[in-house]
Amino acid sequence: MAHAGKPKQKKVDKPSRKAVLSRKDYDKELRRLQVDLVQLEEWVRHRGLRVVVLFEGRDTAGKGGVIKRMTALLNPRYVRVVALPAPTERERTQWYFQRYITHLPSAGEMVLFDRSWYNRAGVERVMGFCTDEEYDEFMRTCPQFERMLVRSGIVLIKYWLSVSDEEQERRFLGRINDPSKRWKLSPMDLQARARWVDYSEAKDQMFSFCDIKEAPWHVVETDNKRAAHLNLMSHFLSLIPHEEVPHEDIKLPPRQKRSYNRPPKSSQRMVPMKYEVE
């Protein structure tokens, strides 16, 4: 079983805990964290680690946005995002965790779940998509399942993205009024708004059963999206000690000297040069 070991944590200049950043400073800090994530990805590959990150939270909490920024510079061959659709009829007859297991990482991989097996503790519970018996069984077995993953050597990290009801309302209205975002607002999202208290109680119950020592929940406030991006990424990097992986110097090989004549552009279907950019 691969272990991360205890390398010395690289010392870098970071903004103070309560620093208020300008947009320019945000972009700079975001870039720094994204580069550090590339180094973490290389460390995961170098040490053969297996990393699973769960992102849960209310609709509009910003799960997709933070995942997008975390993976912006990462290699999709080794870092995968999993966002599963509703289960098929066949999947509904399987052991509940079965369809998630097929997406777990091999050595050297990270998998980010945009919603996860906790659908049963949230939307399925509130919307009546599972029976009381299925829900109770999930709450009993989920901590055991996660302990089993951790014992197998998987690094399991769980984030709950927390958005206030006022901010969620503002984001819902923004999606309604923006044609480019309207597709994000599904009938299920509207039901989530209507059943805000039910979802809150379901989340509290989920935490009481599944906030375990081996795989605790980490809560990220997301009313300020940009601050949430930096806070979550910085925290994630702190959970997996890593070092820069040594690289051999790369030298470009000499290009072939044999002569070559390109075919004329008129012989190819060229995309029209509609735009020029300075």
- CATH code of 23-245, in short, is 3.40.50.300
User: Is the pLDDT score of 6 beyond 90?
Assistant: no
Residues 224-276: pLDDT tens digits? 999 999 999 999 999 999 999 988 888 999 988 889 999 999 999 999 999 99
Q: Where are the alpha helices (DSSP H) in the chain?
A: 23-47, 63-70, 89-92, 98-101, 123-127, 132-151, 165-177, 187-194, 196-210, 225-239
User: Is the pLDDT score of 1 beyond 60?
Assistant: no
Residues 179-223: pLDDT tens digits? 877 777 777 777 777 888 999 999 999 999 999 999 999 999 999
Q: What is the pLDDT of residue 155?
A: 98
Q: What is the pLDDT of residue 4?
A: 47
Q: Give the predicted TM-score (pTM) of the model.
A: 0.86
Residues 105-160: pLDDT tens digits? 999 999 999 999 999 999 999 999 999 999 999 999 999 999 999 999 999 999 99
Domain residue spans of the chain: 23-245
The SS3 of residue 160 is strand
State the burial class of residue 89 (Cβ atoms within 10 Å of its Cβ: 0-12, 13-18, 19+): exposed
Residues 58-98: pLDDT tens digits? 888 999 999 999 999 999 999 999 999 999 999 999 999 99
